[in-house]
Amino acid sequence: MQHAARLRLALLLSWPTLTLLGLVAIPALLLIRISIAPRDPSGMWSPGFTLHAYRALMEPELLGALLDSVEMAVVVAAISLGLGFPLTYLITRMRRGQQVVWLVFLLTTLSLSDVLIAFSWQVMLSKRIGLSNVFVALGLMDAPASLTPSSGAVIACLVYLVLPFTVLTLFPVLSRLKTDVIEAARTLGASPLRAFTSVVVPLTRGPAMIAFLMAAILTVGAYVPPLVLGRPQHWPMAVLIGSTALAGHDLPRASAMSIFLLGATILLAILTARVARGRRRA
């Protein structure tokens, strides 16, 4: 490339470089630095070095919260994939107009604030007008009751939040999936289940894994739904990080907890990738 052209390119990329490196890369490094800094009573941190925040991570309460986070992530991701996969497949086979309606609908729910969705679920599960009244009418319950706080409420709300992301992740691959391949397998005598496992699964394994991971990451990072709909004794890591930073004014500790949570998320990602790959070999 000529000198002038290179200069122009550098100039063109200067603003994106400044913002992306300045606001993402540097702050991420800063997070690591703060996590090993001593706490300052003013709510910030002071210069120096200590592993105090990391030592505090070994408390059983925090380890339990981390386990809760990971368990919830796996459950929500599995449910979302189980529902999202067939849903996406059916959407990709619809007529164009219907497809657009579903996509606009999903994008709208996707973009709605988790605050508004958690609030909606709280109203939906309330004793006064909530779902329990429907259950009473159906004879499934004796009297209306509040269905929150409970783990079920948190999981329902999280599946609601995550499902549109699952669909949008699977949409490209499933809309490219040719129906003739499946039909060919069926003509050759494969049962529907076998056609699915031997034709559809290998073709969509990668995106399905990404959809699973995306759902897991969104769940791990979710702060509002467990806070509004969950039981305090089951508060996941995200809620504890938030309260450590906001109510506890302990940024070093919140940073260390964030790194801890991130580490667990990466571990989960590696495990998921290994499971997805392991099945291919079998």
Partner 1 sequence: MIKAAGKFLFLALLAIFLAAPLVVVAGVSFNGTQRMNFPPQNVSLVWYRAFFSDPAWMSAFSLSLIVAALASLAAGSIALPVAYAIWKHRSRMALFLEFVARISFLLPSIVLSIVFLVFWSWLGHVGRIEDTILSHAVVFVTLPLATIGLGFRSVDWALVEAARTMGAREGDVLRTVVRPIVMPYVISGLVFVFILSLNEYIIAYMVAGFEVETLPIKVFNNLRMGFQPTMCVGAVLFMALGVFAFSAVALIGDLPKLLGGNRAQ
Question: Considering only CA atoms, which of 180, 175, 173 is closest in space to residue 202?
Answer: 173
Smallest gap, in angstroms, from Cβ of residue 245 to partner 1?
6
Q: Is the alpha carbon torsion for 25, 27, 32, 33 positive or negative?
A: positive
Whether the CB-CB separation of 169 and 214 falls below 8 Å is answered with: yes
196 or 279, CB closer to partner 1? Answer: 196
Check residue 21 for interaction with partner 1 (CB under 8 A).
yes
* Positions in 130-159 near partner 1 (CB under 8 A): none
53 or 279, CB closer to partner 1? Answer: 53
Report the C-alpha gap between 118 and 129 in whole angstroms.
16
Report the C-alpha gap between 76 and 62 in whole angstroms.
21
120 or 279, CB closer to partner 1? Answer: 120
Whether the CB-CB separation of 223 and 261 falls below 8 Å is answered with: no
Check residue 211 for interaction with partner 1 (CB under 8 A).
no
Q: Site size for partner 1, by CB under 8 A?
A: 84
Task: Select from 46-54, 143-151, 175-183, 270-278 the region that touches partner 1 (CB under 8 A).
Answer: 175-183
List the one residue from 53, 195, 241, 250 that touches partner 1 (CB under 8 A).
241
Q: Helix 26-35 crosses helix 251-281 at what angle (to 10 degrees)? A: 110
Task: Select from 50-58, 142-150, 210-218, 271-279 the region that touches partner 1 (CB under 8 A).
Answer: 210-218
List the one residue from 144, 217, 235, 250 that touches partner 1 (CB under 8 A).
217
Task: Select from 50-58, 109-117, 144-152, 193-201 the region that touches partner 1 (CB under 8 A).
Answer: 109-117
Report the C-alpha gap between 222 and 237 in whole angstroms.
9
List the one residue from 224, 230, 235, 250 that touches partner 1 (CB under 8 A).
224
- Residue 127: partners with Cβ closer than 8 Å, 6 or more residues away: 144, 145, 146
